[in-house]
Structure 1
């Protein structure tokens, strides 16, 4: 199997591992119903969206800048900083799992530095980014936002030990002569998602907001605060950095990636407003009569599809999966501009 095919195969396997097994949830009801002939076709992934090939263990580790490194399994990303006092790990996705330590060992052996993880910095509380934290034992200083600690106490997940050190607005973490600036700038993807800036390494880590080379995951990345998530990339660009770690998929990002993402979301938002002013709701509610939810669903689906179509056309070949998820993003943004911003809201006379 060629390296590129292996990378694609492993990435698909990792993506499946990150989701519930459908058959186990349905008693096997869906078994055997899908085939290559019945599944939909999507546009090819642009080569620019793909990262480096994975090794035989299913990961890639590479230098970001100086003694800062990143790790990916093709679907998730983490990073680590080697210092004279040990290793600072940024996030611990369970799909990478034990490969995190293997990646650290690989770099430590090559450079003659410590392999011991002394600190883990949490970007936010979600299990898909922290679920391997417990692999590093109890004698590790875990650092995260105060809300991250509150949410992890609530979740009571032994795979995600709560932070030992927290911050409210900002904190500079100093380990082994290195500095890491942590900041909370309000809710975006989650109430606790943090900006992790390494100014001496020209790097910003902001997870689950911009996925370099790709459109967001289903339903606008499941962002809990849509307006703030739309604003988050501008805050990211206010920092001085060259390298961007977004937490997902196979490659690092650049400032241009963030700008392209911003334009994608701006185009989609503008088209949603146009669609709201263009698509007539009358036939949908006329057809379904007393079944209000059927009328609402078909109307909002029509608005979302109308808004998404020109964006899909513009970004196919530019951002991977533009044809896969854009309509779902349009629906979430549609609901946000209606409910959060009051766009199109009318008072009955």
Structure 2
């Protein structure tokens, strides 16, 4: 028996729009920059964190493990430049997911950890030593005051996750909302792997109701703007409209006739066809506008997720048997 070590050719995709890219990383693999005044952000090109450099120390917002020890390096760099203590005094969890909080344990046991009450419950459930549960929790709103600074934390219902919060820096013209809008890019699989589709769809409008200029979405290499959220909304609205048209125009009969007793094969063929028809015009419209729009798994899986929410949450395409 003979085999081949030749890998199949990798697909080609449209070039990433230059507007989607952020600043170059340093030799250690991170970039740290000033957002406004004493608010700074850190990225490794894929994930983002932020911190306030205050007179009493550092207030950190999320601790992604991909940035990891580079967070400590970024904090030390800015603390020295700004002439403030480099001790991390507070750490705010945006939500419980490990990809945004998995480096939280790097900052010792004396940090005041803050998060939504559901974040605490979920972290206690997950029992991950890398993500100690927050001691300070809230249900709807919480004002964090530290080192002479003020940050407004709010929960407006589930979206990407049940506990994902809005982090507003009113004195720094900035909003942080993780895993909803990827500035310059489409969401990855299934609406950024979001758990509550209606809540996710409503979140950008809630975010835009806040006054801010700078946006931290938690992913990729640049800060966002209000225009980024508006563009994201147009992309999602186009998927919704295209899905509605496809649900109304694709006839399921051929799949059920062909597969007979194999009902799940018929359902799969029908839903795949509806999803493909709905996704195609969106992929064509946004390729070259939003990075990775033409990566089929992303726009297509997001379309499938929205389409299923339209069916299950809103009743679109459902008929009562006569």
Runs of 4+ in 1 over 4 A off after TM superposition: none
Please show how residues 238-257 of structure 1 align to structure 2 within 5 Å: 238-257=209-228
Name which of 337, 341, 349 aligns with 2:310. Answer: 337
CA offset digits 1:99-135 (Å, max 9, x no partner): 0010011111222221110000000000000000000
2:320 corresponds in structure 1 to 347
CA offset digits 1:175-203 (Å, max 9, x no partner): 01100000000010111000000000000
The offset of 1:32, in angstroms, is 5.3
1:105 corresponds in structure 2 to 76
CA spacing shift, 1:283–1:133, aligned 2, 3 Å: same
Range with greater deviation from structure 2 (269-278 or 38-47) = 38-47
Cα pair 2:56 2:84 within 8 Å, conserved: no
Please show how residues 289-304 of structure 1 align to structure 2 within 5 Å: 289-304=260-275
SS of 1:301's partner is: helix
Matched, 1:225 2:196: yes
Name which of 95, 120, 124 aligns with 2:66. Answer: 95
Matched, 1:138 2:109: yes
Q: How far, CA to CA, are the matches of 2:91 and 2:195 in structure 1?
A: 24
SS of 1:275's partner is: helix
The offset of 1:164, in angstroms, is 1.2
Q: Which runs of no fewer than 5 residues in structure 2 stay unpaired?
A: none
Q: How far, CA to CA, are the matches of 1:65 and 1:149 in structure 2?
A: 30
2:252 corresponds in structure 1 to 281
SS of 1:201's partner is: coil
Q: How far, CA to CA, are the matches of 1:300 and 1:129 in structure 2?
A: 33
Q: Which runs of no fewer than 5 residues in structure 1 stay unpaired?
A: 1-30
Q: How far, CA to CA, are the matches of 2:197 and 2:171 in structure 1?
A: 31
Matched, 1:176 2:147: yes
2:45 corresponds in structure 1 to 74
Q: How far, CA to CA, are the matches of 2:301 and 2:172 in structure 1?
A: 36
* Superposition TM-score, scaled by structure 1 size: 0.89
Q: How far, CA to CA, are the matches of 1:50 and 1:288 in structure 2?
A: 47
Q: How far, CA to CA, are the matches of 2:214 and 2:51 in structure 1?
A: 14
Q: What is the aligned-residue RMSD (CA, Å)? A: 1.1
Q: How far, CA to CA, are the matches of 1:112 and 1:231 in structure 2?
A: 41
SS of 2:282's partner is: helix
CA spacing shift, 1:108–1:32, aligned 2, 3 Å: farther
The offset of 1:34, in angstroms, is 3.4
Q: How far, CA to CA, are the matches of 1:145 and 1:34 in structure 2?
A: 46
CA offset digits 1:284-322 (Å, max 9, x no partner): 222222211111111111111111111111111110111
Q: How far, CA to CA, are the matches of 1:91 and 1:39 in structure 2?
A: 34
* Superposition TM-score, scaled by structure 2 size: 0.97
Matched, 1:268 2:239: yes
SS of 2:294's partner is: helix
1:23 corresponds in structure 2 to none
Q: How far, CA to CA, are the matches of 1:61 and 1:34 in structure 2?
A: 38
Matched, 1:162 2:162: no
SS of 1:322's partner is: coil
Range with greater deviation from structure 2 (295-304 or 140-149) = 295-304
Please show how residues 179-194 of structure 1 align to structure 2 within 5 Å: 179-194=150-165
Name which of 13, 22, 25 aligns with 1:54. Answer: 25
Q: How far, CA to CA, are the matches of 1:104 and 1:252 in structure 2?
A: 18
Cα pair 2:22 2:45 within 8 Å, conserved: yes
Give the aligned length.
Answer: 317
Q: How far, CA to CA, are the matches of 1:284 and 1:103 in structure 2?
A: 56
1:322 corresponds in structure 2 to 293
Q: How far, CA to CA, are the matches of 1:289 and 1:225 in structure 2?
A: 34
